[in-house]
């Protein structure tokens, strides 16, 4: 069973030889027999199209690109291994069933991160078994987030559309699986037109001296830089023993200048993330664009060891800086010493998203095709609260979101921070729901004076989902409500629902969930066999085979 603690995993990684790493780089990003994306030539001059409209095409062989990022390229198996894996993951306590009568509200912060899925992809392609994967590395909501779904776009002035899918739970005959998909419109032109003030905060400490770290990082930023335009400004801060300002406010059209500065970077020294963060926020404030995109993009393996390095210190610092209006997004790189817990803390409390980059195709996805969604703000402090009707629902279980759950009273407390969502984004909240009369045990305490809530027996409504948010850049707080009832149930809820159920089953199996029920390889593949799969979903099927086949 997967461990569930803050891990300094004592796993020998002698098995992570070059062959496994190369296969992971090729297959993990869908490059084997699939697309032929590769890294952009670093000295090519980018056009001046805005970051919301420009796209990139790649022509070199994907295998060559993937090979260059093999963590220990050119070394023997003995030379390419390290003694121990010191990766760290935060402890996550899986949420169980709760009684709708005693706890009718469920409240979470939005989450558009995808890091967990890509990191798991790296692990499985490197030969890790489910027993060797820390439970804290498995965040099911991020696994769901990685994929695109056929969600509606918002109506009129709404910033979100809510998509409801309900069917019989595949792994538990006593419950229903309800998925709530939230999606935004693809454009935020008014913000993007004002330009972007980006600060690249790059870790150049000695631990980054690996092809899958600093080399891949350089090619990843090349993808981002090639999408910038005349209204964009770029600053670069590096940190190791101390911090250095490499560029201050360069124009987005100066692609060669920006990439020459990045390509000259070399890895050496300790990791003083505190000094780097302080300088990055200072530059971001100095170059602030009112009404535009003001964001730090931090790239690191998270192995901070000088200055503030604990999760609590990082949490407190970025919490304070958030008030400046500068967003902090995080890109993770590398293996062996990766500190996922620190990277997630920075992004979660810095009003940004968190992505793990395991190959250049993933960089193109995050910093190319999804650049607007990941960098341009649309809605701040996005919260979701679901109210269950105890007359119709016996109990429920929130799937994932262990570190995004909020106190119910914080939903309408606008001083409480929550996740931020960009244009063209999607995130999904899934519940396992036991209806009234179900044989499912849901816990709860016998109350001397009766149930805290009896619900409304006059309505067939099961639940009401409310999304609350602030439009980025100002405006009144808004709420949108969606009711779910028996009419939403389908015998066949469709491809998206089946695929999401398969993703949830794999996530539960990887983390050793107590609620996995009948989930196994056969049940997952049966769901996938009945589903139309695009290239990304084919990649997921490959992970199922690696993990369970």
Name the helix (H) or strand (E) containing 257.
helix 255-263
CA nearest 427: which of 469, 485, 475?
Answer: 469
- The residue with tokens 């009144």 is 476
Contact predicate 509/520, CB 8 Å: yes
Token output for 327: 């967003």
Distance, CA of 395 to CA of 435 (rounded, Å): 7
Contact predicate 466/373, CB 8 Å: no
Distance, CA of 495 to CA of 164 (rounded, Å): 13
**Angle at 332 (CA atoms; ends 202, 123), nearest 5 degrees:** 150
Domain 98-188+378-548 matching CATH 3.80.30.20: the answer reads no
According to DSSP, the residues that pair with 388 across neighbouring strands are 463
CB-based contacts of 309: which residues, under 8 Å, 6+ apart?
273, 274, 342
pLDDT of residue 64: 42
Q: Calculate helix-pair angle for 495-510, 535-548, nearest 10 degrees.
A: 30
Torsion sign across C-alpha atoms 51, 52, 53, 55: positive
CB-based contacts of 522: which residues, under 8 Å, 6+ apart?
none
CB-based contacts of 311: which residues, under 8 Å, 6+ apart?
90, 341, 342, 345
Tell me the CA distances in angstroms from 87 to 126, 163, 303, 315, one per residue in order: 14, 36, 9, 19
CB-based contacts of 38: which residues, under 8 Å, 6+ apart?
58, 59, 60, 61, 62, 64, 65, 360
CB atoms within 10 A of CB 64: 10
Segments in the chain below pLDDT 50: 1-28, 30-68, 72-83
Contact predicate 525/488, CB 8 Å: no
According to DSSP, the residues that pair with 107 across neighbouring strands are 385
CB-based contacts of 261: which residues, under 8 Å, 6+ apart?
236, 246, 247
pLDDT of residue 135: 97
Homologous superfamily (CATH) of 18-80+189-368 is von Willebrand factor, type A domain (3.40.50.410)
Contact predicate 200/237, CB 8 Å: yes
Token output for 192: 């993007």
CA nearest 53: which of 250, 200, 189?
Answer: 189
pLDDT of residue 187: 75
Backbone angles phi, psi at 465, to 5 degrees: -100, 130
Contact predicate 325/284, CB 8 Å: no
Backbone angles phi, psi at 480, to 5 degrees: -130, 135
Contact predicate 368/223, CB 8 Å: yes
| CA end-to-end distance (rounded Å), the chain | 17
CB-based contacts of 24: which residues, under 8 Å, 6+ apart?
121, 122, 124, 125, 126, 358
Token output for 121: 């992809």
List, for residues 31-84, the tens digit of each pLDDT value: 433 332 233 333 333 333 344 444 333 334 333 444 445 554 333 333 333 446
pLDDT of residue 450: 55
pLDDT of residue 52: 41
Q: Where are the domains of the chain?
A: 18-80+189-368, 98-188+378-548
Distance, CA of 232 to CA of 253 (rounded, Å): 8
Going by the DSSP 8-state scheme, the letter that residue 504 receives in this structure is: H
List, for residues 171-217, the tens digit of each pLDDT value: 999 999 999 999 999 876 555 578 999 999 999 999 999 999 999 99
Distance, CA of 249 to CA of 294 (rounded, Å): 12
Helix (H, G, I), strand (E, B) or coil at 18: helix
Distance, CA of 111 to CA of 256 (rounded, Å): 35
List, for residues 300-346, the tens digit of each pLDDT value: 999 887 666 677 788 888 888 988 999 999 999 999 999 999 999 99
Distance, CA of 11 to CA of 316 (rounded, Å): 31
pLDDT of residue 188: 61
């Amino acid at each position: 069973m997967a461990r569930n603690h803050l891990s300094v995993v004592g796993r020998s990684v002698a098995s992570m030889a070059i062959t496994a790493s190369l296969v992971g780089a090729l297959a993990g990003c869908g490059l084997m027999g699939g697309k032929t994306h590769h890294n952009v030539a670093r000295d090519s001059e980018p056009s001046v199209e805005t970051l919301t409209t420009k796209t990139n095409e790649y022509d070199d062989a994907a295998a060559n690109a993937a090979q260059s990022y093999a963590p220990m390229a050119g070394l023997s198996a003995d030379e390419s291994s390290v003694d121990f894996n010191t990766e760290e993951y935060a402890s996550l306590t899986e949420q169980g069933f709760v009684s709708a009568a005693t706890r009718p509200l469920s409240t979470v912060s939005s989450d558009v991160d995808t890091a967990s899925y890509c990191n798991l992809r790296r692990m499985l392609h490197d030969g890790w078994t489910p027993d060797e994967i820390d439970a804290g590395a498995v965040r099911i909501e991020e696994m769901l987030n990685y994929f695109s779904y056929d969600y509606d776009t918002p109506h009129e002035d709404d910033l979100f559309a809510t998509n409801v899918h309900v069917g019989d739970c595949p792994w538990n005959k006593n419950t229903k699986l309800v998925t709530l998909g939230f999606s935004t419109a693809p454009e935020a032109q008014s913000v993007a037109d004002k330009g972007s003030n980006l600060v690249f905060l790059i870790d150049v400490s000695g631990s980054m001296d690996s092809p899958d770290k600093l080399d891949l990082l350089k090619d990843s930023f090349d993808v981002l830089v090639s999408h910038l335009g005349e209204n964009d400004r770029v600053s670069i801060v590096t940190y190791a023993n101390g911090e250095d300002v490499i560029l201050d406010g360069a124009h987005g059209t100066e692609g060669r200048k920006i990439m020459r500065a990045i390509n000259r970077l070399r890895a050496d020294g300790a990791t003083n993330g505190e000094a780097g963060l302080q300088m990055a926020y200072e530059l971001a404030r100095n170059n602030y664009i009112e009404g535009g995109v003001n964001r730090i993009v931090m790239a690191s393996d998270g192995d901070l060891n000088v200055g503030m390095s604990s999760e609590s210190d990082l949490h407190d610092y970025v919490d304070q800086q958030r008030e400046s209006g500068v967003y902090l997004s995080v890109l993770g790189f590398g293996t062996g010493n990766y500190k996922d817990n620190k990277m997630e803390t920075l992004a979660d409390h810095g009003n940004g998203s968190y992505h793990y980059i395991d190959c250049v195709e993933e960089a193109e996805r995050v910093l190319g095709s999804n650049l607007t969604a990941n960098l341009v703000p649309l809605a701040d402090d996005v919260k979701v609260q679901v109210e269950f009707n105890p007359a119709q629902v016996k109990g429920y279980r929130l799937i994932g979101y262990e570190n995004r759950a909020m106190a119910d009273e914080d939903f309408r407390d606008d001083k409480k921070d929550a996740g931020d969502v960009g244009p063209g984004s999607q995130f999904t909240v899934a519940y396992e729901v036991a209806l009234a009369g179900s044989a499912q045990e849901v816990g709860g305490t016998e109350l001397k004076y009766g149930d805290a809530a009896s619900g409304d027996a006059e309505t067939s409504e099961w639940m009401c989902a409310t999304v609350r948010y602030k439009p980025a850049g100002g405006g009144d707080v808004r709420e949108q409500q969606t009711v779910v009832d028996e009419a939403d149930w389908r015998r066949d809820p469709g491809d998206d629902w089946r695929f999401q159920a398969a993703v949830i089953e794999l996530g539960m199996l990887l983390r050793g969930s107590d609620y996995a029920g009948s989930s196994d390889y056969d049940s997952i593949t049966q769901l996938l066999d009945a589903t139309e799969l695009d290239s990304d979903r084919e990649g997921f099927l490959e992970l199922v085979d690696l993990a369970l086949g």
